[in-house]
Amino acid sequence: MRVLLLEDDPDLALGVAGALRRAGLSVDVTGTLAAADEALSVNAYDTAVLDRMVPDGDALQLVARMRQRGFGVPVLFLTARDQIHDRVDGFEAGGDDYLVKPFAVPELVVRVRSLCRRSGTLRPAVLECGDLRIDSARHEVARAGIELSLTPKEFAVLELLATRPGQVVTRSELVEHCWDEMADPASNVVDVVVGQLRRKLGPPAVLSTVRGRGYRLDSA
């Protein structure tokens, strides 16, 4: 799952982005409304986390324009503005959640993952495919009742594949949703992660490579 973060405080942006990445999310970081608007226009995001007040304006206007253009990506506002009318303004502009600074980073991560599950088709908190059980909220994976230790990137790839069991997910889709803008789509990074994931899932094989198309997760 891929997240856009708009935050003009470099230290806070670094901390939030790091926490989200450790939770298995890909994060693109911007510091201005103009940069965020451009990123939203060219990339597919599962959630946008937007600091309301940045040097070139109020993110409320950006979200209002997004909604007018038909963008349905869920939005979480971050702000030091904690009055009731500020929250009402955020929701009326098209926001989906609102978190007041200072905030607990673990709470932010949970809220972002919850919003990511809303994007597109509503995703359940727990995904099951055969004997695989993927708990998105707890960030845990088990096969036949045995817990597996996955890296954040391996978890992100498996989670996306599990949302479409039995269907082919292309390499470009995996790059778009599981890596950030720094990823090189021409590299073999997807193949490496899928290979590691296949070994950790063990036999019988449930993760297939569909030559020339992508990858598919099947029931054992």
Average pLDDT of the chain? 86
- For residues 170-198, average pLDDT: 79
- For residues 52-73, average pLDDT: 87
2 forms bridges with which residues in the sheet?
26
pLDDT at 120 over 80: no
CB 78 within 8 A of CB 54: no
Confidence of residue 51 (pLDDT cuts 50, 70, 90): very high
CB 218 within 8 A of CB 166: yes
What integer pLDDT is reported at residue 3 of this predicted model? 92
CB 209 within 8 A of CB 161: no
- For residues 168-197, average pLDDT: 79
What is the rounded distance in angstroms from the CA atom of residue 16 to the CA atom of residue 196? 27
CB 196 within 8 A of CB 188: no
pLDDT at 73 over 80: yes
What integer pLDDT is reported at residue 190 of this predicted model? 87
What integer pLDDT is reported at residue 30 of this predicted model? 94
pTM higher than 0.85 for the full model? Answer: no
Domains in the chain, start-ordered, CATH in brackets? Answer: 2-118 (3.40.50.2300), 126-217 (1.10.10.10)
Is the pLDDT higher at 126 or at 199?
199
Residue type, 23: A
Q: What is the dihedral angle through the alpha carbons of 170, 172, 175, 176, rounded to the nearest 10 degrees?
A: -110
Give the least confident one: 79-88, 118-127, 151-160, 161-170: 118-127
pLDDT at 162 over 60: yes
Confidence of residue 121 (pLDDT cuts 50, 70, 90): very low
